C-alpha cells in the first residue's frame, strides 16, 4: 500500500483532501497495522487515503495536513524505529513553535511490549510532542501490547472504532463513515499488489548461473515484495556449523544448545554485543505439500514484482537472468508456510473471496489492496460449510473462536489451507497473504578477539503444547538443533548491531543475565579476558540465574574458571560470580535476591563508574532486576525510591544502563 517517494511527494501536494497515515515500523507489524487503518478508511468511503513510511514523508509539510494517523512501534530501550529517527529529529527543532501544527488533527497508535520497561515509549513521546506543537488530538493514544492474548490487535480494534466515530463527528463529508465500514452490502474486490511473470523453458537461466547459494538467497529475498521491507542486511555470510553441544542435562525439560559457526576462509567482522540473524531452512516435505496443495509448478521460473515496481519497469525487458527464480526456491526462501500463523486478514480475505464468487455480501473488512481475481475449485459449491466457517471467523462475533483456532493452536498457513480445501487462491494472492520467512536474531555469545573466524550462539530449542495438546516446534531453533556439525549445508547469516554496546576495558561491569540471557555476557567475559593480556581491565560482577545447578547451569565450567585465580570474575580482580538456583531450595531465589545480597559490592562498583547490562526474558525479570537495583541505591545511598529511579535514568542517559530482552 505504501507508495514510492515520488508518489508521496505528489500526494503531499494535494494533502488538504486526504487522510494521511504515517507509520514507523522495525519488524513490519506497524506497517501492517497502518495498512489496516488505510483499508478501513477506504472501506468507509474516504476519498483520499495515503499510507506512507515516515522516512518517505517530508515532515516540513505536516502543517498542511488536516488529519494524520501515526502508527509507531517501539524498539530496544524505548527507541523509535530507524524509519522514524529523521522525522523525530525534525519535530524536536527549537524553531517549531507551539502553533506550528495548529489546525492539524492527529491520532497515535503505538505497538509495544509491556514486558519492557519503556512500554510504547516512542508512541507516547510522539503523541506529547504533536500536542506541544499545536496539533489537536482526535482520540486518546492507543497502546498495542504484544503480551495481550490477541497481540496488538486487542487494542487496535476498539481504538479504530473510537477513531472513526470521533472523525465522523468532526467531518461528515470527508472522513470514513462507520456505517460504511460495517456495511454488509459491498462485494467489490480490488487488484493484487503483486505481479508474477512466468517464463517458458527456453527463457530460464542455466543451472551454472544459479549455483551460488549466496546469490540465490539474495535474489529470492530481494524479489519478494514483503521482504523488501524486512531485509536490509545485504548478501549473507555463509557459515558452517562446527559444534552443536547440548548445555542442559538430557533429563531436563529444557534443551539449550551451544552452537559454533565459522567461516573457514576468513575472519568474521563483528563486535561483542552484536546479534546474528539466521535464515532458517523449511522442511522440504512441507514446501512440497504447500506447492501441491496450491497447484503450483515447482520447476517453473518466475519473476515477482510489486505493482508499483512493475509500473516503473513497464515496457522494459527483464535485464538479468537473476531476475528469474524457480518457483519452489522462491517459496522455500521467502514464504513462511509451515511455522508462522496466518495474519488475521488471511481469514478476512478468504471470506471475501468466497462471498464475491457467490455474489454474496462481504462480512467484514474489504481487502481492496490485497485480493486479485481468484480461482475456486470446481467442487466449491459442495463446501458451503467452509464458506460459512470463514464468514464466521471474519466477523466480530467470531473473533474469539478465530483466536482459539489460529493463534492459540499456532496453526500454520499450510494447515489452514488444508482445513479449507475448497479455497484455491492464485499465486499472486498467496505471495501477499503468506507471512514472509523472517530471519531469526540471536545474541552472539563469543568474542571476536577470542574467536576471529567463529561466532558462538546460545539457543533455547523452542517447543510447546497447544490447548489441544499438539506439540509445536520453533522453526529456526529446531532446525539448528538437527544439524550435524561439518556435514550439513552452509547457514545463511547476517551480522546486526545489538542493543548492548561493547564497554571499554577500563569500565567496571555489572552483568545480569539469567537463563539464555547469559549469552552476550559470555562474549563480554571472553572479551575482557582477552583484553587483560594486553592492558589493565576493570572488575566484572556477573549475576546468573537458572532452575537447578545440576540441570541448567549454562556454561558452568566457563564461569567457574573465570571466577578463580586471576580470572576476570575473581574476587582478586575485584569481580564476582553470583548464581541463583530458583528450584534448589523450598523458597525460590532469583537474580534480584543475589543483587540485594551483594548490595554493597554493587553500589561500590556503581560509584566507581560501572555500567549495568541486563539481558534475558522480557516478562517480569527486567522490572524485578531494576527494582532490586533501585533498592540497592536507596539502601546504600540513603535516598528515596524516586531519587533512585532518577539515578538509574541518568545512568541510562549516559549509556551506562543497557537492557536487551526478548519474548
pLDDT digits (tens, 9 = 90+) for 474-510: 999 999 999 999 886 789 999 988 889 999 999 999 9
The answer on whether 533 is annotated among ligand-binding residues is no
The answer on whether 590 is annotated among ligand-binding residues is yes
In this prediction, residues 154-169 reach a mean pLDDT of 86
Instruction: Report the Cα 480 to chain-centroid distance in Å.
Output: 20
Length of the chain counted residue by residue? 663
The C-alpha atoms of residue 308 and residue 641 are separated, in whole angstroms, by 55
Global pTM? 0.80
472 phi/psi in degrees, rounded to 5:
-115, 150
Which is more confident, 272 or 435?
Answer: 272
The answer on whether 188 is annotated among ligand-binding residues is no
pLDDT at residue 424, rounded to an integer: 80
The answer on whether 25 is annotated among ligand-binding residues is yes
Was domain 5-181 assigned CATH 3.40.50.360? yes
pLDDT digits (tens, 9 = 90+) for 596-613: 999 999 999 999 999 999
Which is more confident, 233 or 577?
Answer: 577
Quickly state the pLDDT bin for 169 (edges 50, 70, 90). confident
Quickly state the pLDDT bin for 420 (edges 50, 70, 90). confident
The answer on whether 24 is annotated among ligand-binding residues is no
Please give the sequence-ordered ranges of beta strands (E in DSSP) within 418-527, or none if there are none: 440-443, 454-460, 463-465, 471-473, 491-496, 509-512
Top-confidence range, 270-274, 347-351, 437-441: 270-274
The answer on whether 662 is annotated among ligand-binding residues is yes
Written as nine digits, the cell of 315 is: 515496457
**Nearest of 527, 562, 539 to residue 609 by alpha carbon:** 539
The answer on whether 516 is annotated among ligand-binding residues is yes
The answer on whether 571 is annotated among ligand-binding residues is no
pLDDT at residue 380, rounded to an integer: 32
pLDDT at residue 148, rounded to an integer: 77
The answer on whether 232 is annotated among ligand-binding residues is no
The answer on whether 28 is annotated among ligand-binding residues is yes
Phi-psi region for residue 25, left (φ > 0), alpha (ψ -120 to 50) or beta? beta
Considering only 215-219, 302-306, 361-365, 588-592, which range has the smallest mean pLDDT? Answer: 361-365
Helices 327-334 and 284-293 meet at what angle, rounded to 10?
120
pLDDT at residue 184, rounded to an integer: 40
The answer on whether 177 is annotated among ligand-binding residues is no
The answer on whether 30 is annotated among ligand-binding residues is yes
pLDDT at residue 231, rounded to an integer: 63
Q: List all residues 6 or more positions away from 606 whose beta carbon is below 8 Å from its beta carbon.
A: 510, 612, 632, 633, 651
The answer on whether 26 is annotated among ligand-binding residues is yes
The answer on whether 76 is annotated among ligand-binding residues is yes
CB 456 within 8 A of CB 258: yes
The answer on whether 146 is annotated among ligand-binding residues is yes
The answer on whether 93 is annotated among ligand-binding residues is no
pLDDT digits (tens, 9 = 90+) for 379-393: 232 478 887 777 677
| CATH 3.40.50.80 domain extents, the chain | 509-662
The answer on whether 222 is annotated among ligand-binding residues is no
Quickly state the pLDDT bin for 562 (edges 50, 70, 90). very high
The C-alpha atoms of residue 611 and residue 273 are separated, in whole angstroms, by 14
**CA separation (Å) from 271 to 53, 247, 275, 448, 450?**
30, 24, 9, 7, 11
- Above 70 in pLDDT, residue 266? yes
CATH of region 509-662: 3.40.50.80
Which is more confident, 115 or 442?
Answer: 442
pLDDT at residue 211, rounded to an integer: 66
| CATH 3.40.50.360 domain extents, the chain | 5-181
The answer on whether 15 is annotated among ligand-binding residues is no
Burial label, 36 (beta-carbon count in 10 A; 0-12, 13-18, 19+): buried
Please give the biggest Cα pair distance in the chain: 80
The answer on whether 592 is annotated among ligand-binding residues is yes
Which is more confident, 298 or 397?
Answer: 298
In this prediction, residues 112-117 reach a mean pLDDT of 77
The answer on whether 582 is annotated among ligand-binding residues is yes
Average pLDDT, the chain: 82
Considering only 37-46, 285-294, 333-342, which range has the smallest mean pLDDT? Answer: 37-46
The answer on whether 305 is annotated among ligand-binding residues is no
Burial label, 307 (beta-carbon count in 10 A; 0-12, 13-18, 19+): middle
Quickly state the pLDDT bin for 10 (edges 50, 70, 90). very low
pLDDT at residue 233, rounded to an integer: 63
Question: Which residues, listed in sequence order, are joined to residue 542 by a DSSP beta bridge?
Answer: 511, 577
Other residues' Cβ atoms within 10 Å of the Cβ of residue 420: 17
Written as nine digits, the cell of 617 is: 526474558
Amino acid at each position: 500500500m505504501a507508495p514510492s517517494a515520488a508518489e508521496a511527494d505528489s500526494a503531499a501536494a494535494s494533502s488538504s483532501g486526504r487522510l494521511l497515515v504515517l507509520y514507523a515500523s522495525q519488524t513490519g507489524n506497524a506497517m501492517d497495522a497502518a495498512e489496516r487503518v488505510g483499508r478501513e478508511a477506504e472501506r468507509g468511503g474516504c476519498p483520499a487515503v495515503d499510507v506512507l513510511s515516515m522516512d518517505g514523508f517530508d515532515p516540513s509539510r505536516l502543517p498542511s495536513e488536516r488529519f494524520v494517523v501515526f502508527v509507531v512501534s517501539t524498539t530496544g530501550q524505548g527507541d523509535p524505529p530507524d524509519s522514524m529517527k529523521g522525522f523525530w529529529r525534525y519535530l524536536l527543532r527549537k524553531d517549531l513553535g507551539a502553533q506550528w501544527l495548529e489546525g492539524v488533527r492527529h491520532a497515535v497508535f503505538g505497538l509495544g511490549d509491556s514486558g519492557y520497561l519503556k512500554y510504547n515509549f516512542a508512541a507516547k513521546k510522539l503523541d506529547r510532542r504533536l500536542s506541544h506543537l499545536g496539533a489537536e488530538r482526535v482520540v486518546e493514544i492507543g497502546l498495542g501490547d504484544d503480551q495481550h492474548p490477541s497481540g496488538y490487535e486487542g487494542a487496535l480494534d476498539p481504538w479504530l472504532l473510537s477513531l472513526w466515530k470521533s472523525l465522523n463527528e468532526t467531518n461528515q463529508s470527508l472522513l470514513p463513515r462507520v456505517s460504511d465500514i460495517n456495511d454488509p452490502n459491498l462485494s467489490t474486490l480490488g487488484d493484487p499488489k503483486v505481479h508474477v511473470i512466468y517464463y517458458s523453458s527456453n527463457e530460464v537461466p542455466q543451472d551454472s548461473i544459479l549455483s551460488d547459494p549466496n546469490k540465490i538467497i539474495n535474489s529470492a529475498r530481494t524479489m519478494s515484495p514483503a521482504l523488501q521491507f524486512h531485509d536490509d542486511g545485504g548478501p549473507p555470510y555463509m557459515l558452517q556449523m562446527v559444534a552443536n553441544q547440548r548445555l542442559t542435562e538430557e533429563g531436563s525439560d529444557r534443551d539449550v544448545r551451544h552452537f559454533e559457526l565459522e567461516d573457514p576462509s576468513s575472519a568474521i567482522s563483528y563486535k561483542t554485543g552484536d546479534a546474528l540473524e539466521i535464515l532458517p531452512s523449511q522442511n522440504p516435505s512441507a514446501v512440497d505439500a504447500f506447492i501441491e496443495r496450491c497447484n503450483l509448478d515447482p520447476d517453473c521460473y518466475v519473476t515477482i514484482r510489486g505493482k508499483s515496481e512493475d509500473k516503473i519497469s513497464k515496457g522494459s525487458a527483464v535485464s538479468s537472468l537473476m531476475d528469474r527464480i524457480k518457483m519452489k526456491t522462491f517459496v522455500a526462501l521467502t514464504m513462511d508456510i509451515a511455522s508462522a500463523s496466518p495474519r488475521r486478514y488471511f481469514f478476512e480475505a478468504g471470506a471475501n473471496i468466497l462471498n464475491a464468487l457467490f455474489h454474496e455480501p462481504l462480512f467484514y473488512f474489504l481487502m481492496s489492496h490485497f485480493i486479485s481475481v481468484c480461482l475456486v475449485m470446481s467442487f466449491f459449491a459442495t463446501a458451503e460449510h467452509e464458506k460459512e466457517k470463514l464468514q464466521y471467523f471474519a466477523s466480530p462475533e467470531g473473533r474469539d473462536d478465530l483466536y482459539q483456532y489460529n493463534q492459540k493452536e499456532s496453526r500454520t498457513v499450510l494447515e489452514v489451507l488444508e482445513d479449507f480445501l475448497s479455497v484455491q487462491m492464485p499465486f499472486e494472492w498467496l505471495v501477499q497473504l503468506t507471512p514472509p520467512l523472517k530471519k531469526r536474531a540471536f545474541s552472539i555469545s563469543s568474542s571476536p578477539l577470542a574467536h576471529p573466524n567463529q561466532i558462538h550462539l546460545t539457543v533455547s530449542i523452542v517447543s510447546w503444547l497447544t490447548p489441544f495438546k499438539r506439540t509445536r516446534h520453533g522453526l529456526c531453533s529446531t532446525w539448528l538443533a538437527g544439524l550435524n556439525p561439518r556435514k550439513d549445508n552452509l547457514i545463511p547469516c547476517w551480522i546486526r548491531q545489538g542493543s548492548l554496546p561493547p564497554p571499554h576495558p577500563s569500565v567496571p561491569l555489572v552483568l545480569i543475565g539469567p537463563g539464555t540471557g547469559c549469552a552476550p555476557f559470555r562474549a563480554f567475559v571472553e572479551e575482557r579476558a582477552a583484553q587483560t593480556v594486553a592492558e589493565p581491565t576493570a572488575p566484572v560482577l556477573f549475576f546468573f540465574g537458572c532452575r537447578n545447578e545440576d540441570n541448567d547451569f549454562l556454561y558452568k565450567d566457563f564461569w567457574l574458571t573465570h571466577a578463580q585465580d586471576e580470572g576476570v570474575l575473581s574476587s582478586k580482580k575485584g569481580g564476582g560470580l553470583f548464581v541463583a538456583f530458583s528450584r534448589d531450595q523450598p523458597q525460590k531465589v532469583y537474580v534480584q535476591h543475589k543483587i540485594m545480597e551483594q548490595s554493597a559490592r554493587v553500589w561500590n562498583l556503581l560509584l566507581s563508574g560501572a555500567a549495568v547490562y541486563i539481558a534475558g526474558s522480557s516478562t517480569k525479570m527486567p522490572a524485578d532486576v531494576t527494582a532490586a537495583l533501585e533498592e540497592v541505591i536507596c539502601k546504600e545511598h540513603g535516598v528515596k525510591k524516586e531519587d533512585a529511579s532518577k539515578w538509574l535514568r541518568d545512568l541510562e542517559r549516559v549509556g551506562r544502563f543497557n537492557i536487551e530482552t526478548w519474548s
